[in-house]
Amino acid sequence: MPSDLVELGRVVSAYGIRGWVKVQPHAADGDTLLGVKAWWLRAPVPPGSTGALPSALAIRVAACRLHGGHVVAQLEGIGDRDQAQALKGYTVWVPRDQFPQPDENEYYWVDLIGCRLYGEHEGEAALIGIVEDVVDNGAHGVLRVSRQIEDADGQCQPVLSARGKPMDVLVPFVAAHVHTVDLANRRLVSNWPAAF
């Protein structure tokens, strides 16, 4: 199993009577799902369960197309509606190295997660924290950043609230605020106030 699998969608139902599945992509479009020859399917995790994720099963994509806001696909070995319906709730994963190359100044959100975000403090670059998630607010992406401080060795330590809980900050992921994205060094530079 590839070590760089990224969850891109979820099987929501069967589609038709010939074994096709309907997938709700997590992104606004399902282009990445259309461009690969195999998906990795992972069984749903029961609510409240802990531990490792279920193993992923590689399955070849025989045919695939967009249908409204969904992706519909014929998967090898799935020949009827009952088999397709049995996959409802499974998550769809694709190796990161099979994603299409993004255009200049475009980024896959999954690549931003784990990057250090630097802002400004008294005219100097200062660590704000580490990107934990990217969410869509309808107009643009928003970075959810876990507040961190760097120790003398360059290691990050979480900033805790008065109640001992990790603190987060939300930063719009737009060129007006985030002006440098250096994925090779896992570093984002912004004009966002570090003490915000």
Per-residue pLDDT at 178: 95
Measured torsion, CA atoms of residues 83, 86, 92, 95, in degrees rounded to the nearest 10: -60
Give me the pLDDT at residue 165, please.
92
Are 140 and 176 contacting, i.e. CB atoms less than 8 angstroms apart? no
Per-residue pLDDT of the chain (196 residues; tens, 9 = 90+): 788 899 899 999 999 999 999 999 987 778 889 989 999 999 987 777 776 677 889 999 999 999 988 999 999 999 999 999 999 999 999 998 888 888 888 888 889 999 999 998 888 889 999 999 998 887 888 999 999 988 888 888 888 889 999 999 999 999 999 999 999 999 999 999 887 6
Q: What is the pLDDT of residue 3?
A: 84
CATH 2.40.30.60 fits 5-98, yes or no: yes
What are the residue boundaries of the structural domains of the chain, listed by start? 5-98, 109-193
Q: Which CATH superfamily is domain 109-193 in?
A: PRC-barrel domain (2.30.30.240)
Are domains 5-98 and 109-193 of this chain identical in fold?
no
Closest C-alpha among 187, 113, 104 to residue 150: 187
Residue 51 has what pLDDT? 67
User: Tokens at residue 45, please?
Assistant: 């995790």
